[in-house]
């Protein structure tokens, strides 16, 4: 009975803890992302390889923004079970969504802080960080956003 | 070409299903698969186990569960008296095909196990708790019942079949799923274990009646060891524990004795040379 | 919704552009198919289950990207790119992104 308690109790406690902390962290992160998306909304970030014809570029540079977001125990648990049945791994969707938007916001923030007005040819790359102890599960996701930041004479 | 600073709608890239709903669905699914697998494994093993030749069993498992006693080490005198008692009990099972061996395990919890190959292991804790020869005879008879029903093979086979089947249906990938499935599987197999215990009790009781002319000592054994059935109370406890709760079991024993006309009262033999070897 | 992976929509003119729109999905095939794929790894050949998995996932991702573009009021997505990553064992993540525009 004690053995059962340990076998069941510890993972269960971890799951409950991870669920609540994970949800709280996610809520806070989304709030911060939304706030920054509003703040930097007037900075164009587009996938065009050339600048729109009306822009008069004075300066340009390569710029990057990246983030590594960790998986929580609860999400990993859900993803592990989902792999048995197949289908959408819903638990990881919000993780990717957060990572992409965060990387994009960091890209914009960096551009603005250095006095650039827009970013063109934006690319996004995703990379998984393998868990050191167990290569089957992931420790986190890295998203890299990069593009060419441009300074404009006639800033939009 | 004009720039429009609108922001796309939020949440398009995230499914709306609540994570707890998803968790419930997945856990339920895995548990259902595991229970189905456990039942399938148990049924398959129950079909096969009685047909495994005993010679094959003995050959396969000889030496697996021996006492671990070095050749020059003195043999525990308790072992000899236990073997004598076991011989007397087995004498009432004429078609017995095994050559039984006794092993004493240095474990404080009172318990006895039937092991493949014809080994009966008895713990120190059990020997210290019994008060009469009859009680011990009943325990040995109960384990002989497991041998007669080939339960010792079933337990082993079920575990193996369950693990193999689980891998075959694909629950082998993530450790949390395996853990979850094995818990559900164990739970499902308890039902099979319980039926086996009752059947082994019935056989043990019959041997006891044949040896002493009465079945006194069988229920006393459980009365002395209230903790043997597991510390939990209630429905779940009764289902969870391998050995049915003692009260239930005593009830069942009385029923059997009544049914077969065996006397529940009678003179019990004292224990001989079963005090700890030291 | 017009989709293209070049900078323009031929024959039309871009009158308005928005930011990056994206769609993504993570999918796993059930393990039975994973095991079949394991056998396939010995003899070689197309892993149909995985072609299917990634195809479905890509459709899903494009669908979500289009919904983001629609929510902006755009009628085309240009310069679309795909990226695939494996976020978990046996699972594929498909990501599609491009620039939402209005063309006339």
Residues of B in contact with C100 (CB under 8 A): 8
| CA A69 to each of CA A41, A95, B89, C97: distance values in angstroms, whole numbers, following the listed order | 23, 7, 67, 20
Q: Return the pLDDT at C23.
A: 95
Contact C68 B8 (CB under 8 A): yes
Sign of torsion over alpha carbons A49, A53, A55, A57: positive
Q: Return the pLDDT at B238.
A: 46
The CA distance from B45 to the nearest CA of chain C, in Å, is 24
* Chain B contact for C30 (CB, 8 A cutoff): yes
Mean of per-residue pLDDT scores for chain A = 87
The CA distance from A154 to the nearest CA of chain C, in Å, is 17
Highest mean pLDDT among B22-26, B236-240, C99-103 belongs to C99-103
- pLDDT top residue among B77 and C26: C26
Interval A117-124 mean pLDDT: 94
CATH of domain A2-152: 3.30.110.70
User: Chain A: which residues have CB within 8 Å of chain B?
Assistant: 1, 4, 7-8, 11, 19, 23, 34, 37-38, 41-42, 44, 52-54, 74-78, 80-85, 88, 90-91, 93-94, 96-97, 134, 136-137, 156
Residue A153 has φ and ψ, to the nearest 5°, of -75, -40
Does the pLDDT value for residue B276 go beyond 70? no
Q: Which sequence spans correspond to the domains of chain B?
A: 21-53+131-260
Q: Which residue has the tokens 């650039």?
A: A116
Q: Return the pLDDT at B220.
A: 72
Strand B112-115 versus strand B119-123 pairing type: antiparallel
Convert A70-105 into a string of H (helix), E (strand) and C (coil): ECCHHHHHHHHHHHHHCEECHHHHHHHHHHHHHHHH
Spell out the residues 6+ positions from residue B75 whose beta carbon is closer than 8 angstroms to its own.
B69
Task: Please tell me which residue of chain A has the smallest CA distance to C96.
Answer: A124
- Lowest-confidence range among A62-66, A96-100, B83-87, C44-48? C44-48
Q: Which two tokens stand for residue C5?
A: 């992976």
Interval B85-91 mean pLDDT: 86
Q: Which two tokens stand for residue C102?
A: 């209005």
Quote the ipTM score.
0.84
Contact C67 B12 (CB under 8 A): yes
Contact B13 C73 (CB under 8 A): no
Q: Return the pLDDT at B245.
A: 61
Does the pLDDT value for residue A60 go beyond 80? yes
Does the pLDDT value for residue A62 go beyond 80? yes
Give chains near B: 3+ CB pairs under 8 A: A, C
Does the pLDDT value for residue B70 go beyond 50? no
Does the pLDDT value for residue A148 go beyond 50? yes
* Chain B contact for C39 (CB, 8 A cutoff): no
Q: Return the pLDDT at B65.
A: 60
Of how many residues is chain A composed?
Answer: 156
Cα C54–C57–C61 angle (5° rounding)? 135
Q: Which sequence spans correspond to the domains of chain A?
A: 2-152
- pLDDT top residue among A84 and B10: B10
Tally C-beta pairs within 8 A across A and B: 82
Residues of C in contact with A52 (CB under 8 A): 17
Spell out the residues 6+ positions from residue B66 whose beta carbon is closer than 8 angstroms to its own.
B101, B103, B119
Does the pLDDT value for residue B66 go beyond 70? no
Q: Return the pLDDT at A113.
A: 95
Select C2-28+56-103's CATH number: 3.10.180.10, 3.40.50.2000, 3.30.110.70, 2.40.50.140: 3.30.110.70
- In chain A, the percentage of residues whose pLDDT exceeds 70 is 88
- Decide: B177 and B171 in contact? Cβ < 8 Å: yes
Highest mean pLDDT among A51-60, A87-96, A114-123, B196-205 belongs to A114-123
- In chain B, the percentage of residues whose pLDDT exceeds 90 is 2
- In chain C, the percentage of residues whose pLDDT exceeds 90 is 52
Summarised one tens digit per residue, pLDDT across range B251-261 is 888 888 888 88
Residues of C in contact with A50 (CB under 8 A): 7
Does the pLDDT value for residue A118 go beyond 90? yes
The CA distance from B206 to the nearest CA of chain C, in Å, is 49
Does the pLDDT value for residue B235 go beyond 70? no
Q: Return the pLDDT at B199.
A: 85
- Decide: A126 and C83 in contact? Cβ < 8 Å: yes
Contact A124 C90 (CB under 8 A): no
């Amino acid at each position: 009975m004690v053995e059962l308690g340990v076998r069941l109790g510890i993972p269960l406690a971890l799951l409950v803890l991870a669920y609540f902390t994970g949800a709280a962290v996610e809520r806070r992160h989304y709030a911060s992302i939304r706030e920054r998306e509003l703040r930097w909304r007037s900075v164009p970030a587009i996938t065009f390889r050339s600048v729109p014809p009306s822009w008069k570029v004075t300066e340009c540079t390569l710029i990057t923004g990246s983030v590594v977001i960790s998986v929580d125990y609860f999400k990993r648990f859900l993803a592990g079970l989902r792999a048995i049945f197949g289908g959408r791994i819903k638990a990881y969707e919000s993780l990717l969504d957060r990572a992409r938007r965060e990387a994009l916001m960091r890209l914009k923030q960096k551009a603005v802080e250095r006095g650039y007005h827009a970013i063109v040819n934006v690319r996004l790359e995703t990379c998984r960080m393998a868990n050191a102890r167990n290569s089957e599960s992931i420790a986190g996701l890295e998203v890299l956003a990069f593009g060419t930041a441009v300074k404009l004479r006639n800033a939009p | 070409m004009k720039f429009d600073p609108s922001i796309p709608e939020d949440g398009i890239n995230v499914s709306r299903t609540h994570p707890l709903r998803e968790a419930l669905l997945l856990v339920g699914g895995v548990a259902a698969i595991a229970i189905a697998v456990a039942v399938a494994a148990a049924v398959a093993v129950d079909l096969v186990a009685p047909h495994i030749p005993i010679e094959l069993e003995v050959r396969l498992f000889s030496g697996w569960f021996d006492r671990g006693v070095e050749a020059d080490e003195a043999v525990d005198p308790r072992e000899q008296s236990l073997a004598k008692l076991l011989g007397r009990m087995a004498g009432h099972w004429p078609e017995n095909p095994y050559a039984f061996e006794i092993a004493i395990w240095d474990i404080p919890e009172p318990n006895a196990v039937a092991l493949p190959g014809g080994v009966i292991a008895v713990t120190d804790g059990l020997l210290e708790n019994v008060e009469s020869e009859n009680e011990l005879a009943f325990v040995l008879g109960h384990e002989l019942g497991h041998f007669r029903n080939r339960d010792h093979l079933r337990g082993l086979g079920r575990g193996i079949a369950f693990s193999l089947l689980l891998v075959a249906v694909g629950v082998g990938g993530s450790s949390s799923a395996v853990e979850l499935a094995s818990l559900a599987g164990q739970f499902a197999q308890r039902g099979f274990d319980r039926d086996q215990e009752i059947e082994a009790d019935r056989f043990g009781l019959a041997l006891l009646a044949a040896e002493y002319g009465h079945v006194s000592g069988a229920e006393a054994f459980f009365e002395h060891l209230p903790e043997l059935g597991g510390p939990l109370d209630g429905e779940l406890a009764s289902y969870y524990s391998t050995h049915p709760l003692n009260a239930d079991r005593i009830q069942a024993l009385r029923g059997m004795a009544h049914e077969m006309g065996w006397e529940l009262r009678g003179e019990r033999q004292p224990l001989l040379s079963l005090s700890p070897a030291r | 919704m017009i989709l293209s992976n070049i900078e323009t929509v031929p024959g039309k003119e871009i009158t308005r552009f928005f930011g990056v729109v994206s769609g993504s999905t993570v999918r796993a095939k059930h393990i039975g198919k994973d095991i079949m794929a394991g056998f396939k790894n010995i003899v070689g050949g197309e892993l149909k289950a995985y072609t299917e998995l990634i195809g479905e996932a890509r459709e899903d991702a494009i669908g979500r990207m289009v919904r983001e573009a629609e929510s902006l009021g755009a009628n085309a997505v240009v310069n679309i790119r795909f990226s695939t990553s494996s976020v978990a064992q046996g699972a594929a993540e498909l990501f599609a992104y491009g620039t939402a525009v209005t063309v006339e």
